[in-house]
Amino acid sequence: MRGPSVVECRSIQKTYPTAEGGFLAVDGFDLTVGEGEFLCLVGPSGCGKTTILKMLAGLLDPTAGEIQFADGAAHRSLVFQEDALFPWMTVAENVAIGLSQSEEDGQGRAAATARFVDTVGLARFANRYPHELSGGMRQRVNLARALVSAPRLLLMDEPFRSLDAQTRLLLQEELLRLWQRTRQEVLFVTHDIEEAILLGDRVVVMSGNPGRIVADLPIDLQRPRDLTGRAHPDLAEMKWTIWKLLKEDARERLSAHA
Amino acid sequence: MVVLVFLAVWEGVARLELMSQLFFPPPTRVISTLGELIWSGDLWPHLWSTLRIFVTGFVIGASLGTALGLAMGASAPIRTVVDPLVALVHPLPKIALFPLLLIMLGIGDAPKIAIVAIAAFFPMTINSMAGVNQIGNVYFEVAGSFGMRRRDVITRVIVPGSLPMVFAGARIALNTALVLAIATEILMSNRGLGHLIWLSWETLRTPQLYATLVVIALLGWMIQRGLEVLRRRVIPWGSE
């Protein structure tokens, strides 16, 4: 782990209230994110990784435990999946929402918005509506919206999940390209093991329900990463290591229920 | 095309006296009567009277209904209080309330405008509330995660998000309001298109009756077209 920790989660627990008394989504979760670290959180559906992300984003409160941010890191943005753009706002207006908490005046906001719309390559589409864009383009708007306020911590909730393979590759490249420039802390949630390895400095593996960490692996692959995977001969081995962990755990849970 | 054939058949059948010309005057006579109404200037005061009541009543009822519906959708406490009242009054045939309003507001335009307002109110309330409820939860999450102020959530999420359903409600409300405006004129008025219908019946001038119906149908059609044009301008984002 590089540098002092920027985010610390200590013994996080989250129980959702239900008719039967409560659904324990996450239990005893500890995590730290180091300075400039691109951390991937990988796990199967339902393991609570989105819950963790929402708690870090401030959308949910933990039932127990605490989350601590170092100075400045509390300024965080969440990148949603592609259907989270407001359909009734143009690309530019959607991106400007990212500046809702900014103290800048109208002109400053317009300039920052235009800059980020341009950075993700959508300058020509600034006044179009989301329904006129492809999935990949919509996701770029989501990225721009999250980045426009220059957040210290970038939280990403399976952002490329609904994209086709080619578009996903392009957007992964774009994400890394943008990240190299600002090098903020990133917490990237995904169920795709290969994606987690190729993007992250560190992969934290979570298991089923209630979610807990089963492994925390540093990724020593050189940057810039080759997202097709060809330049990294160890990739297959690492994928297998992580998959084994998840498989064992899934099997355990199946037999525990049986 | 089908309509023209139908009218041609009607014309033929009527002229050949196969149907009573009293009940089914030939379309050509209806049109010429309509022309007379227009050129003699007799139509306009009636049309204007109906329009005045319809527009005033609709604007009052629809704006109150939309505001309340949006509030009910956005705020659970408001909804809990108001919903039972809406559920109780809505099923009542609005025209049945007309005599009550006559007592309360006297004879004249006021009770008619009130009925029209009530008729427009309910579809707008119900649809506006539904409009807010169908806004996907994720949009509120986005608003929350970027720290949008409550005021902005209302103006930039709730209002635009519910617009498609608000317009759907307006379609119904406009129609109901026009129907009721005409109905009140049939019941109690000496002016207006509804009155003209009644007068035509009383004097057995059937072509005039049909002509008035044509005017009403055209009016209703133009209103709906106008709404559609407005909708395309206000909702340019391809509503689902």
Residues sharing a CB contact under 8 Å with residue B240, sequence separation 6 or more, in sequence order: A87, B164
Mutation target for A interface from B132, B141, B142: give the one with most A CBs within 10 A: B142
- CB B151, CB B138: distance < 8 Å: no
pLDDT at residue number A73: 65
pLDDT at residue number B175: 95
* Average pLDDT by stretches of 10, chain A with 258 residues: 75 87 87 92 86 90 89 82 89 94 85 93 94 92 92 92 90 92 92 92 88 88 82 86 84 70
pTM score over 0.90? no
H or E element in which residue A186 lies: strand A185-190
CA distances from B152 to A100, B132, B143, B170 (A): 9, 15, 9, 25
**Which residue reads 């229920």 in tokens?**
A257
How far away is chain B from the Cα of A158, in angstroms, using its nearest Cα? 14
Statement: residue B239 has pLDDT above 70: no
pLDDT at residue number B1: 83
Mutation target for B interface from A86, A99, A138: give the one with most B CBs within 10 A: A86
Give me A100's structure tokens.
């809702």
- Report yes or no: A97 at the B interface, CB cutoff 8 Å: yes
Statement: residue B120 has pLDDT above 60: yes
Amino acid type, A118: D
Tell which residue, A190, A83, A100, has the closest CA to residue A141: A83
Statement: residue B21 has pLDDT above 80: no
Q: How many helices (H) and strands (E) does chain A have?
A: 7, 9
How far away is chain A from the Cα of B150, in angstroms, using its nearest Cα? 11
Q: What angle do CA A65, A70, A74 make, to 5 degrees?
A: 80
pLDDT at residue number A72: 66
pLDDT at residue number A1: 46
Asked if A84 lies within 8 A of B142 by C-beta distance, the reply is: yes
Contact residues, chain A, for B152 at CB < 8 Å? 100
Amino acid type, A125: F
Statement: residue B60 has pLDDT above 60: yes
| Residue that wins the pLDDT comparison between B34 and A2 | B34
Give me B55's structure tokens.
């527009």
Q: How many CB atoms lie within 10 A of CB B110?
A: 14
pLDDT at residue number B134: 94
Report pLDDT digits (tens) over B145-194: 999 999 999 999 999 999 999 999 999 999 999 999 999 999 888 889 99
3-state secondary structure of A59: coil
Asked if B237 lies within 8 A of A88 by C-beta distance, the reply is: yes
Cis peptide before B99 (omega within 30 of 0): no
3-state secondary structure of A10: strand
With an 8 Å Cβ cutoff, the interface of chain B facing chain A consists of 136, 138-139, 141-149, 152, 156-157, 160-161, 163, 235-240
Tell which residue, A247, A173, A168, has the closest CA to residue A214: A247
pLDDT at residue number B240: 47
Nearest to B138 among A84, A97, A129 (CB): A84
Amino acid type, B107: I
Q: What is the largest CA-CA distance in chain B?
A: 76
Mean pLDDT of chain B: 91
